[in-house]
Structure 1
Amino acid sequence: MLKKTLIAVGLAVAALAATATPASAAEYQSALKILGIQYNAPGPDDNRCMGGNTHQEYLTIKNYSTTATINLRGYLVKDAVGNSFKFTADHYLQPGDYVRLRGGNGNDSDANNVVYRDNCNFIWNNTGDSIYLYKPSGAGADSHSYNPARDDADGNGYVTFH
């Protein structure tokens, strides 16, 4: 009888473990993740295309796969109020590689790991915001929220998520 009870308890624990899903489990269904964000560009905010500092605000996206190369074409990045950027050109991230999605204008470059939003307005709020990364299918790939008082202990305007 004790043996049957132990087996039943073991099966129940295994079933619970199999069905228990951590709150962040959905976040890990994609190899592409938001590594961090420079939400507050150094210096006073100046969104002029020539001479401003919008290009110093950036989002870092990393390919955490150890085997798959990911093409960013079709991926979408949004903030809490719907400001968005869609990768419309091919940009390949090798396993372990990253890209910085910068504000302002510039030359996109696989070699330099940079894509420009071609928009000189700041997208990320200095007081906190939410970031959403969507796959070309529309499914969520990753999302994070930040609050400078909570997440930026050194006050440098950069928050790391992964």
Structure 2
Amino acid sequence: MRIRTAAPLVLAAATALAGSLLTSAPASAAPHQGGLHLGKIQYDSPGKDTRTNTSLIAEYVDVHNSGRSAVQLKGYRLKDDTGYTYTFPGFTVAAGKTVRIHTGKGKNAGAHVYWNRGSYVWNNTGDKARLIKPSGALLDSCSWGKGTGVKVCH
């Protein structure tokens, strides 16, 4: 008799345990797969568009590395709808860090790189930024219409 009454209890306990394991499995089975992506885009520099370097430097795109390891950006490209293209030189962005690409002229240092352009890239009335791998594959994109001058993509 005991065996017959214990068997359903053991089966119920095993089913409950298996059910709890199954419900917790997706969280551990699908770890965060971070990586490079577009972040904040200041497509309309604050103030009047004067084409001064100060104004051009205030137009920028952030590329964030949400991955667990550093990424070498050499050969990655940042491109707009018109076809203006910035190609990264040898530059490494650490895990969890951001690099800011300024339109204007300057010296690459720290987390800031410069396109060294004398005119604006990003259209205030609407545009699309694309982050492209060295292989030519699209990694991320972000678009906007006429707005506040700032777009937060991710």
1:60-139 to 2 correspondences below 5 Å: 60-65=62-67, 67-87=68-88, 89-110=89-110, 113-139=111-137
Q: Percent identity?
A: 34
- Write the deviation string for residues 115-155 of structure 1: whole angstroms up to 9, x where unpaired: 00011210000001011110111111101111134xxxxx3
Please say which structure displays the higher CA radius of gyration. Answer: 2
Does 1:160 pair with 2:145? no
Tell me the distance in 2 between the aligned counterparts of 1:96 and 1:30.
9
Aligned CA-pair RMSD:
1.8
Tell me the distance in 2 between the aligned counterparts of 1:160 and 1:115.
19
- Write the deviation string for residues 11-44 of structure 1: whole angstroms up to 9, x where unpaired: xxxxxxxxxxxxxxxxxx8711001200000111
Match for 2:80: what amino acid?
Answer: D
Tell me the distance in 2 between the aligned counterparts of 1:158 and 1:56.
11
> Which TM-score applies when normalising by structure 1?
0.71
Match for 1:104: what amino acid?
Answer: G
Unpaired runs of at least 5, structure 2: 1-32
